[in-house]
Amino acid sequence: MSENLEFYHEPIMLNEIVKGLNLKPFSIVVDCTLGGAGHSFEILKFIPNGKLIGIDKDVEAINYSQNRLSKYSNVVFVRNDFKNYKSILSKLEIKKVDAILIDLGVSSHQIDTPSRGFSFRFDAPLDMRMDTSQKLTAKFVVNNYSKSELIKILKIYGEEKFASLIVSNIIKHRLIKPIETTFELKNIIEECLPKKIIYKSNGASKKTFQALRIEVNSELFGLESAIQDMIDSLNPKGRLAVLSFHSLEDRIVKNIFKYNATGCICPPNIPLCVCNHKASVKIITKKPLTASNLEQTNNPRSTSAKLRIIEKL
Ligand SMILES: C[S@@+](CC[C@H](N)C(=O)[O-])C[C@H]1O[C@@H](n2cnc3c(N)ncnc32)[C@H](O)[C@@H]1O
């Protein structure tokens, strides 16, 4: 097998994840965000008699990983959204698994491929779709969403404090002609921001582009219930690891993990438990793990990574 493939994505917190998944030779593992198979390539070394299910909604990720993992016969590739986890497993006639990984967000390949339209660093049609067969594009969002919807997206998903200013300028421009490209949008953003913000920030468009990407790919919607389906599918002692890069994602992960790790969830004023809720998992990472200083220096994309792991009881 050739490892001379073009660079796709540097797997983040690789050792922490492989160790944290507690893999055994017969483990059945689901990599919900296969990407360039950086994590899966390592995982496969630990499960010689097991099976790996690699899911990604981006056809380029599936094609690349099929090539990269071609020497392994124990891999099933699934081009789908991991939010359909339950039906994916059911179609494969798999009831229980031993380890699951979700490595959220975009791959370096997606961000660094100019034609995908994810980045303000390259001029390209405003696209940003991970799944190129889906209808919704960034161009549609920018040109058709209402002012209030756009402000909300920029504020919540991008934590952009100039959201109102930027959206007002977008609306002004789109009344003249549709905004078609990444550079048109970047110029519209920069036109309305104070000059010192543009010079000071590492890309004044970064937050707006991030917000649009999250909206286009519906990154937060359905995450909680997908994680619940994953927890339900774990064998006793099975592990689920989630790597997130955004505070909203991390909050969703933290809360659903906590809910599953909690026994009684009755209100405190009720003297006797009526909920019968039982803890189904143990939290392995009391606080989220972060990338080492060395990794953060070598790969700045790891700086915002938070890794949370649970184990099924
Ligand atoms: C950060 S990359 C994963 C990188 C991978 N762990 C590696 O080491 O190469 C995230 C990948 O997940 C995919 N992805 C994101 N959200 C997804 C979803 N809801 N369903 C399926 N794939 C998704 C993206 O297309 C992208 O390829």
Q: Domain extents for the chain?
A: 14-105+220-312, 115-216
Query: Could you read off the pLDDT of 203-217 as tens digits, one per residue?
Result: 799 999 999 999 999
Alpha carbons 64 and 311: distance in angstroms, whole number: 31
- What does each C-alpha distance from 134 to 125, 144, 217 come to in angstroms? 15, 17, 9
- The DSSP 8-state label assigned to residue 246 in this structure reads S
Q: Name the percent of the chain lying above pLDDT 70.
A: 98
Hey, which of 15, 18, 33, 107 would you mutate to test ligand 1's pocket, going by the most ligand atoms within 8 Å of its Cβ? Answer: 33
Alpha carbons 131 and 223: distance in angstroms, whole number: 17
**pTM of the complete model:** 0.96
Residue from 40, 35, 66, 61 nearest 51 by CA: 40
> Helix (H, G, I), strand (E, B), or coil: what is residue 129?
coil
- The DSSP 8-state label assigned to residue 181 in this structure reads B
| SS3 of 4-43 | CCCCCCCCCCHHHHHHHCCCCCCCEEEECCCCCCHHHHHH
Hey, which of 7, 42, 107, 295 would you mutate to test ligand 1's pocket, going by the most ligand atoms within 8 Å of its Cβ? Answer: 107
pLDDT band at 4 (very low <50, low <70, confident <90, very high): low
Query: Could you read off the pLDDT of 163-204 as tens digits, one per residue?
Result: 999 999 999 999 999 999 999 999 999 999 988 888 776 779
pLDDT band at 6 (very low <50, low <70, confident <90, very high): confident
Compute, in angstroms, the gap from residue 85 CA to the centroid of ligand 1.
14
CATH topology of domain 115-216: DNA polymerase; domain 1 (1.10.150)
Average pLDDT rounded to a whole number, residues 208-234: 98
Residue 54 CB less than 6 A away from ligand 1:
no
Q: Name the percent of the chain lying above pLDDT 90.
A: 93
Alpha carbons 177 and 129: distance in angstroms, whole number: 22
Query: 182-192 vs 163-176: helix axis angle to the nearest 10?
Result: 130
CATH architecture of 14-105+220-312: 3-Layer(aba) Sandwich (3.40)
Written as six digits, the tokens of 204 are 């004044």
